[in-house]
């Protein structure tokens, strides 16, 4: 199925000459093609059939034990000038990177099939969407890309019509950790990935295209490519507000995207709609608002911790037609991970389960599933114009200091709030408690250019759009003196989202503080929630001395990006610091 687009056909021919595959297959995205790939992988052992009575259409993939996660230290942004990649990225010159990668790709597909995957990130007819072509020798990648993107004939037709696309070249190679690199060439709209079969390294439409390359595209074209969920909150009157939210890992993104309202809210008629759980592309519309699409068509979610108590919607989503990666298996061949009932008999490596070997399911084990299977999936996810964003939310895991919720004063203050966000580590993860890792906009591993330029791009939207979303910061993880969480979280987070919507609609006054606006007494609906007034006071408290130290640390963090930090952002940091100092004098 050769391409009518000369540049695409020429590139495919060049890759074939370099990698020397036994055959070339152009993917059409059809059901028949998918079933053929599944049968092929069942025969080779790349897939294992799971219990088709309990999990119809579900299969297990076990990756090489050395190949189970993204490899940030082997991920490079290759810009002509090192300064443009920024201190937030590893850099290699484009010439050196191409030479290194092409030496690895030389003859690497001999005896293998080379798959050509045309795909579209976002609804196939949306002007906000962008297309790409991934060339790979992995049928597992093809099967996953079919679920995660709009892949196949329709995408190829759009590519041939538009004439532009992101080029992604991938090979699993020998799966040698010493011969594993992921290179991004933003100026060339090109990705080269070698030596890994793992999702984020191999499904090039996901983090590589939809964030690292797209963030650079977005800067040039006047939009935003962000590591954010998109969720719709429908009130009893049938009005829906859409919220985009950025959290670092382990802070509940997927849970918030699929939130189940508390019983009282459900009875009143509140509904939650899932548009996306991981990536959000936003662009100013003709009416001055930001409109967002989810560029992905599926979920590539972390399995451990997904349970009936934490996220029943996710559990229902993955009950059929799902590819599981590196989970454990029960005696009757059902997928299993920590947090589920029952017992595993085989661990993620296929060994008889022994607690001495560690968790049964790999902590980063995954599920790949169509978003349309989610019980709360929003049909608006397919709208070509996207959904209008009423609020942008930043948040992290902060055991102290940061209130449950506060609203930024204006857009520039909101950009500072996003730039300063971070999460504190736990002893279980690092051996050190309370180490704050700043992760601006949750984009630290994914921003494809200098963070200083990225903050400036965010600030530029003040001039581009006049009805920008309000910006908030949340912290579901504040703890009391006993070390227990003060806020129940999960479905009760809707109470906080309701206050945000009240602020958007001008129904809540709030209480001004130097760091932003917090809910005034009585504005958070706490009916049927067993939480003491003193606890709420603690959740919303603003510790002057603690925040003065925090603003000092934020200033040092911004300074670490050198001369490219926008003066506007530094002025905003100084404004908040001065407001805190004044308050400390008067109180």
User: Which residue ranges are tagged as binding site for Mn(2+)?
Assistant: 207, 227, 278
Sequence-ordered list of residues with C-beta below 8 angstroms from that of 533, at least 6 positions apart, any chain: none
Antiparallel, parallel or unpaired: β 335-336 and 328-330: antiparallel
> Count of CB atoms within 10 A of residue 168's CB?
26
Sequence-ordered list of residues with C-beta below 8 angstroms from that of 219, at least 6 positions apart, any chain: 449, 453, 454, 457
> What is d(CA 472, CA 178) in angstroms, rounded to the nearest whole number?
43
Runs of H (alpha helix) within 382-446: 411-420, 427-430
> What is d(CA 208, CA 215) in angstroms, rounded to the nearest whole number?
10
Antiparallel, parallel or unpaired: β 75-77 and 181-185: parallel
> What is d(CA 13, CA 195) in angstroms, rounded to the nearest whole number?
22
Q: Pick from 80, 86, 82: which is nearest to 561 by CA? A: 86
Q: How far is CA 66 from CA 10, 326, 435, in A?
A: 35, 12, 27
> What is d(CA 415, CA 15) in angstroms, rounded to the nearest whole number?
42
11: helix, strand or coil:
helix
Antiparallel, parallel or unpaired: β 328-330 and 344-346: antiparallel
- 460, 453 contact by CB (below 8 A): no
Annotated catalytic residue within 58, 78, 108, 251: 251
Q: Pick from 544, 493, 486: which is nearest to 515 by CA? A: 544
- 231, 243 contact by CB (below 8 A): yes
**DSSP assignment letter at 488:** -
Q: How far is CA 226 from CA 209, 248, 386, 411, 544, in A?
A: 12, 12, 15, 16, 32
Is 251 marked active-site? yes
Q: Which residue has the tokens 């999460």?
A: 423
Radius of gyration of the chain (CA): 24
What is the widest separation between alpha-carbon atoms in the chain?
77
Sequence-ordered list of residues with C-beta below 8 angstroms from that of 505, at least 6 positions apart, any chain: none
Decide: residue 522, CB within 10 A, 0-12 exposed, 13-18 middle, 19+ buried.
exposed
Identify the H or E element spanning 124: none
> What is d(CA 570, CA 559) in angstroms, rounded to the nearest whole number?
9
> What is d(CA 361, CA 304) in angstroms, rounded to the nearest whole number?
7
Phi, psi of 253 (to 5 degrees): -65, -55
Q: Which residues are catalytic?
A: 251
């Amino acid at each position: 199925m050769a391409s009518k687009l000369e540049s695409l056909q020429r590139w495919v021919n060049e890759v074939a000459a370099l990698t020397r595959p036994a055959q070339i297959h152009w993917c059409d995205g059809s059901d028949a093609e998918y079933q053929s790939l599944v049968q092929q992988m069942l025969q080779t052992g790349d897939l294992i059939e799971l219990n088709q009575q309990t999990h119809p259409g579900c299969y297990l993939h076990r990756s090489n034990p050395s190949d189970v996660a993204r490899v940030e230290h082997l991920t490079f942004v290759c810009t002509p000038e090192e300064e443009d990649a920024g201190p937030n990225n590893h850099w290699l010159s484009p010439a050196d990177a191409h030479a290194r990668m092409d030496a690895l790709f030389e003859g690497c597909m001999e005896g293998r099939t080379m798959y050509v995957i045309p795909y579209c990130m976002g609804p196939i007819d949306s002007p906000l969407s962008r297309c790409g072509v991934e060339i790979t020798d992995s049928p597992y990648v093809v099967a996953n890309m079919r679920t995660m993107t709009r892949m196949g004939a329709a995408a190829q037709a759009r590519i041939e019509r538009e004439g532009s696309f992101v080029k992604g070249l991938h090979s699993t190679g020998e799966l040698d950790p010493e011969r594993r690199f992921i290179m991004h060439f933003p100026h060339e709209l090109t990705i080269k990935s070698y030596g890994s079969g793992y999702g984020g390294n191999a499904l090039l439409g996901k983090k590589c295209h939809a964030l690292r390359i797209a963030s650079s595209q977005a800067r040039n074209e006047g939009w935003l490519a962000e590591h954010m969920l998109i969720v719709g909150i429908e009130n009893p009157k049938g009005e829906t507000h859409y919220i985009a939210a950025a959290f670092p890992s382990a802070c509940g993104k997927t849970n918030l995207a699929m939130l189940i309202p508390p019983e009282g809210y459900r009875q009143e008629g509140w509904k939650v709609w899932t548009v996306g759980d991981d990536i959000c592309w936003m662009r100013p519309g003709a009416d001055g608002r930001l409109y967002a699409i989810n560029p992905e068509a599926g979920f590539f979610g972390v399995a451990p911790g997904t349970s009936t108590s934490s996220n029943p919607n996710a559990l229902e989503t993955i009950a059929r037609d799902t590819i599981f990666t590196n989970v454990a298996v029960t005696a009757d061949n059902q997928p299993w991970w920590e947090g589920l009932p029952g017992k595993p008999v085989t661990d993620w490596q296929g060994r008889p389960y022994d607690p001495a070997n560690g968790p049964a399911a790999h902590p980063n084990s995954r599920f790949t599933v169509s978003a349309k299977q989610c019980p709360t999936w929003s049909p608006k996810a397919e709208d070509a114009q996207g959904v209008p964003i009423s609020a942008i939310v930043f948040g992290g895991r902060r055991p102290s200091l940061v209130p449950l919720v506060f609203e930024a004063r204006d857009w520039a203050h909101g950009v500072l709030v996003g730039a300063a966000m971070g999460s504190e580590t736990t002893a279980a993860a690092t051996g050190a408690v309370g180490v704050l890792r700043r992760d601006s906009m949750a984009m630290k591993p994914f921003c494809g250019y200098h963070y200083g330029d990225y903050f400036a791009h965010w600030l530029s939207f003040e001039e581009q759009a006049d009805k920008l979303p309000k910006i908030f910061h949340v912290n579901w993880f504040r703890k009391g003196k006993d070390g227990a969480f003060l806020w129940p979280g999960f479905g009760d987070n809707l109470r906080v989202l309701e206050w945000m919507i009240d602020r958007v609609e001008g129904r809540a006054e709030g209480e001004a503080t130097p760091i932003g606006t917090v809910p005034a007494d009585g504005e958070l609906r706490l009916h049927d929630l067993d939480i003491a007034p003193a606890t709420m006071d603690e959740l919303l408290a603003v510790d002057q001395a603690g925040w003065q130290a925090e603003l000092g640390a934020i200033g040092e963090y911004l300074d670490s990006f050198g001369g490219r930090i926008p003066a506007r952002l530094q002025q905003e940091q100084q404004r908040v610091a001065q407001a805190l100092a004044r308050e400390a004098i008067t109180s």
